[in-house]
Amino acid sequence: MKKITLLFIFILISTVLISCGDDNPAGGNQTTLLPMKSGTYWVYMNYTLDSNNNRIGNYKTYDSIYVAGNITKNDTSGSIFINYHIDSLGSITSDTVYYSVSNLKVFAYTNLIEYMLKDIPFASNITYTQHWMKLVDAEDEDWKVFDGIIPETSVIIGTIEGNLSAFGSNSGNETITAESKSYNTRKFTVRTIFTGNFKYQSYKIPITLERKTYLYFADNVGLVKTLTEAMKIEISPLQPWSFPGQEQILLRHHIAN
C-alpha cells in the first residue's frame, strides 16, 4: 500500500476544486458561470505538471462531467453533477457532487470534500459541518471557501494536527484557448492553507503549507480551465515530498436548452 500522510489531504483539496460540442446559450438573458440544466456536459483533458508547472510528456487523463438532475440540500436548490474519470489505462470511475448558482456565484456542497478525500483512510478525522461552500464569486474580491479541523492523527511516523482552510479571490479576466477557440474568462484564485504541527518523538515542528489553484470560467459555458501549481514540501527529519501540479483544459461541451 502506498504510504500516504495527512499532508496529502491538503494536496487533494487544492488539486480538485471542480472536476467541467456545441456552443448553445445558457437560455434567456441571464448570465451564469455554471449552466445547471440536466443534459449539460463538459469533457476535459488533464495534464500532469512538473515542478515548473510545465506539462509532463504525453501523459493525459480525461474527465467527463454530466448534469444529471436537481437536488435540495439545507433548503437550497442545486444540481447533481456526475464526474466520470478515465485514467491513462482506460479505467473509468465515477463520483457525484452537488453545485448551486446564484447570479455570478458558484457554490459547492461539502460532498465535494468527501469526494476528494474518499481514498484517504483517515479522512473522516477532518471535522466540519455539511454546508454549501462559496467556490467562486465574480461580484466579490475575497471569501472563505472551506474551514476544517484536523485533530491529532497518526501518520507514517509521528502525528499531525492543525487547520485546513481554503480562500478564494477574484483575479480579473484572462483569454484562454480551448476547443480551438478563444474564451474571455473570469479568473479566480483559490488558496488552500494548512497550519499545524508535526510531532515526531520529542520533536514538535510547526508547519504552514499553501498551494494555489486557478479557475477560469467563461460566462454561460462553465469551467474552461483549471491549473493547480506543483509544490515541494520539506519537513526535517523526513524526506522531502514533491507533488506535481495539474492542468485541466476543456475539450468539448454541450449546454442544454
Question: Mind listing the pLDDT tens digit for each residue in 109-122?
Answer: 987 776 665 545 44
What is the average per-residue pLDDT within 172-198? Answer: 94
> Alpha-carbon distance 166 to 194, whole Å?
9
| Cell reading at 189 | 484564485
| Cell reading at 123 | 479522512
pLDDT at 123: 52
Report CA Rg, the chain. Answer: 18
For residues 65, 68, 69, 75, the Cα torsion angle rounded to the nearest 10 degrees is: -50
Q: Has residue 191 got a pLDDT over 70?
A: yes
Residue 1 within a domain: no
What is the average per-residue pLDDT within 37-62? Answer: 90
Indicate the range of 8-12, 33-37, 105-109 predicted with least confidence. 8-12
> Alpha-carbon distance 162 to 36, whole Å?
36
What is the average per-residue pLDDT within 51-77? Answer: 90
Enclosing domain of residue 123: 7-254
Contact 8, 120 (CB under 8 A): yes
| Cell reading at 153 | 492523527
Residue 88 within a domain: yes
pLDDT confidence band for 14 (50 / 70 / 90): very low
Contact 2, 235 (CB under 8 A): no
Domain count, the chain: 1
Q: Has residue 138 got a pLDDT over 90?
A: yes
Find where cell 494536527 sits. 161
Instruction: Order the strands of the 181-200 sheet from edge to edge.
Output: 132-137, 105-109, 92-102, 76-86, 55-73, 41-49, 245-254, 222-228, 203-218, 181-200, 159-178, 142-154
Residue 22 within a domain: yes
Residue 145 within a domain: yes
pLDDT at 70: 96
What is the average per-residue pLDDT within 150-160? Answer: 79
**For all residues of the chain together, what is the average pLDDT?**
82
Q: Whats the size of the chain, residue-wise?
A: 257
pLDDT confidence band for 140 (50 / 70 / 90): very high
Find where cell 451564469 sits. 32
Q: pLDDT, tens digit, for every residue of 18-41?
A: 343 444 444 456 899 999 999 999
Residue 227 within a domain: yes
Q: What is the CATH number of the domain that holds 112?
A: 2.40.360
What is the average per-residue pLDDT within 64-82? Answer: 95
pLDDT confidence band for 12 (50 / 70 / 90): very low
Residue 94 within a domain: yes
pLDDT at 235: 66
pLDDT confidence band for 160 (50 / 70 / 90): confident
CA-nearest of 118, 120, 130, 113 to 153 is 120
Q: Has residue 133 got a pLDDT over 50?
A: yes
Residue 2 within a domain: no
Higher-pLDDT residue of 3 and 102 is: 102
Find where cell 514533491 sits. 242
Amino acid found at 12: L
Residue 73 within a domain: yes
Q: How far is CA 109 from CA 54, 148, 232, 235, in A?
A: 31, 14, 29, 33
Indicate the range of 19-23, 38-42, 215-219, 249-253 predicted with least confidence. 19-23
> DSSP label at 125?
G
> Alpha-carbon distance 93 to 239, whole Å?
32
Find where cell 481514498 sits. 119
CA-nearest of 149, 148, 153, 119 to 131 is 148
Percent of the chain whose pLDDT exceeds 90: 48
